[in-house]
Amino acid sequence: MKPYETKDIRNVGIVGHGHCGKTSVAAGLLYAAGATNRLTRVDEGNTVTDFDEEEINRKLTISSAVAAIEWKKTKINLIDTPGFNMFINDAKAALIAADAAVVVVDAVAGVEAQTERMWKTAEEYNLPRAIVINKLDRDRASFERTMESIHERFGRNAVPIQLPLGNDKDFRGVIDLMRMKAFVYTIDGDGKGKEVPIPEEYAEAAKKAHEELIETVAEGKDALLEEFFETGTLPEEHVIQGVDEEMREQRIFPVLCMSGLHDIGSDRLLELIVEAFPTPDGRPPAKVMLNGEEIERPCSDKLPAAAFVFKTTADQFAGRLSFFRVLSGIIKDDAHLCNSTKNTEERLAHIGSPLGKTILPVTELHAGDIGVVAKLRDTLTGDTLADRSSMVVYPPLKVPEPSIAFAVEAKSRGDEDRMGNALHKLLEEDLSLRFYRDPQTKDFLVAGTGQQHVEIAVSRLKRRYSVDVTLKAPKIPYRETIRGTADVQGRHKKQTGGHGQFGDCWIRMEPLPRGAKFQFANEVFGGAIPKNYIPAVEKGIIETAERGYLAGYPMVDFKVTVYDGSYHDVDSSELAFKLAARKAFRAGMTTAKPALLEPVMHVEIQAPVEYAGDLMGDLNGRRGRIAGMDTQGGTQIIKAHVPMAEMLSYQSDLTSMTQGRASFSMEFDHYDYVPQLAAEKVVAAAKAARAGEVEEED
């Protein structure tokens, strides 16, 4: 692929809820632009942007993919993003590389949970947005009903610039309301519409929608508003110019009609992207750090080279692939840049433009372009590459903590030897994953955003690295705390042949609000305990609290104040006071009313209205508390707080209850007390597990 200047580049993120047809929209754009020689399909497993084996088998997008296409002397970098909640972090990271977003909405389901979340993310990133109503050729598809859903969620600034020709399976084309022309398509055609007069049966609806579009465009610009008042309308060129400018200014959000599956409307979307979507240098300057100070860095070829790595993947043949956006300057093939995040040198050998899993070689990439390079030594997602003369650092990615963890166990000694290295490679690729060892249970844990997320990681271990592991029951990250106060003494005295050991401290224990973690205070006066022994008291408390009291879970949200004690000139030591603090802690726990805490998740469910009663009854059975309800069209939105322990199998249960017509999102909200009966079961299970470990050791 030839190099493109900044003014001829468009970076477009395609976002929306899972199964709304984002990948099909991308496939239609690729085919219409001539990047593929046939219209590919998700259900056939041959799309350009869903190429991973897991994506092909599961028929869903798991990680973002970039595909560069050319349309009317413009390079368009399409970024196809995941739509399901557990992979949403990857979508958010990919949008950093975009200059605008295409928000895909299902013509049957309307605006769904993740569509709204990604809209808000695009809003946070200050990205102009266009909306595509997809799947208008499906049974029960409705343009009018979907527009109601869009207006309800995104406001009246979402303005149709197209109307559909035909309904359901008769959907065959679009009416361009800016130019007042119709375009019809043939199935298995070349993806380009044939211009025809607007059919008579659509003329009145098209005229009314055209007038509404003109009014909305005129309201956005004073000059256009004056012209509208004088003439009562606007000429075609002013309407087009107004839509283009006001979309870039986020005054309006154009709405288009499509069928990605049958490639209806793809060429019209490509036209809008070239005409109206912003160029990289038309966006606000990026805020970067230089020598410890925040500066603004415009997207320009004239500045020193800098690039931000927004995604890392592992390829079986090419090794580690780093996807980057050029922030400034021109990056040439075989360039030498510095990883300014880690202060290491990198050589960018064989840079290219990505087309799914294919890399199209390029000689150079200009400011604002997206590229990919293989085998960088130290660079990972979130790192900045920069010219040594200007070591700028782009703000790091913010990745939320995982919400669920599973214990993993290698099936053989060989798998165990390879597991750590293979998991390390997966962690480089997916920042939402965590791999660590539980200090209490000694289990190796893999944590992710959901059960399916972790299962996919395990499947990739086997497919890519021939590492076979077994998933055990998820580990709920319980915590322990206190509900009362205690005022106790901890005294450690031991006499041996030489120096003895002596430490004596008095402590007060009291509860803190949720989320306050641990606080330590020193109120010792008059040298009752020498200052150099106070840190040993704190360390003894912390170490003992980490091992818990009831069930071995870490203690949180409590305060310890050491206020008195005594010491011996010869026998006192840091070790003695640490052991005294441990005894004081254990003594205090007997009267401080220890309690068990469990993670409570914020759950949002979207389902057809007819399932609302069953879903709320099920949530109540899971110890859930309904936090709010809303109805949008035929969709019921239920918000609730539910303990994590009750949500481990919810995905499959929800699918079963609603015949697969519902979706949910879940994220950690807060910790709360475990009810007495449930707490007793958790404590008993923990004690039994510890007893089993002791027997094995014996």
- Show contacts of 117-121: CB within 8 Å, 24+ apart: 117/85, 117/88, 117/665, 118/15, 118/16, 118/81, 118/83, 118/88, 118/91, 118/92, 119/15, 119/153, 119/154, 121/15, 121/91, 121/92, 121/95
Q: Mind listing the domains of the chain with CATH numbers?
A: 9-197+252-282 (3.40.50.300), 299-393 (2.40.30.10), 406-475 (3.30.70.870), 480-592 (3.30.230.10), 597-673 (3.30.70.240)
Cβ-Cβ contacts under 8 Å for 638 (sequence gap 6 or more): 604, 605, 607, 612, 615, 616, 619, 626, 628, 629
pLDDT for res 692: 64
Task: For residue 426, give the nearest of 309, 318, 317, 320 by alpha carbon.
Answer: 320
Q: What is the pLDDT of residue 477?
A: 82
Q: For 138-190, how does the pLDDT look when each residue is reduced to its tens digit (9 = 90+)?
A: 999 999 999 999 999 899 999 999 999 998 889 999 999 999 999 999 876 67
- Token look-up 């799947």 returns 135
**Residue 526 contacts by C-beta under 8 Å, 6 or more apart in sequence?**
none
Using only C-alpha atoms, what is the Rg of the chain? 30
**In the prediction, which pLDDT does 549 show?**
92
Answer yes or no: are the C-beta atoms of 120 and 92 closer than 8 Å: no
Contact 457, 430 (CB under 8 A): yes
Per-residue pLDDT of 186-218, as tens digits, reads 876 677 899 999 999 999 999 999 999 999 999
pTM for this entry: 0.76
Which residue from 646, 479, 620, 598 is spatially nearest to 549, judged by alpha carbons? 479
Does position 666 have pLDDT exceeding 80, yes or no? no
Instruction: State the pLDDT at residue 667.
Output: 79
**Pick from 674, 480, 483: which is nearest to 591 by CA?**
483
CA–CA gap between residue 60 and residue 22 (Å, rounded): 10
Predicted local distance difference test score (pLDDT) of residue 697: 47
pLDDT, tens digit, 9 for 90 and up, residues 583-620? 999 999 999 999 999 999 998 888 888 899 999 999 99
Angle, CA 149 vertex, CA 143 and CA 152 arms, to 5°: 140
Distance of CA 214 to the CA centre of its chain: 37
Whether the per-residue pLDDT at 533 is higher than 80: the answer is yes
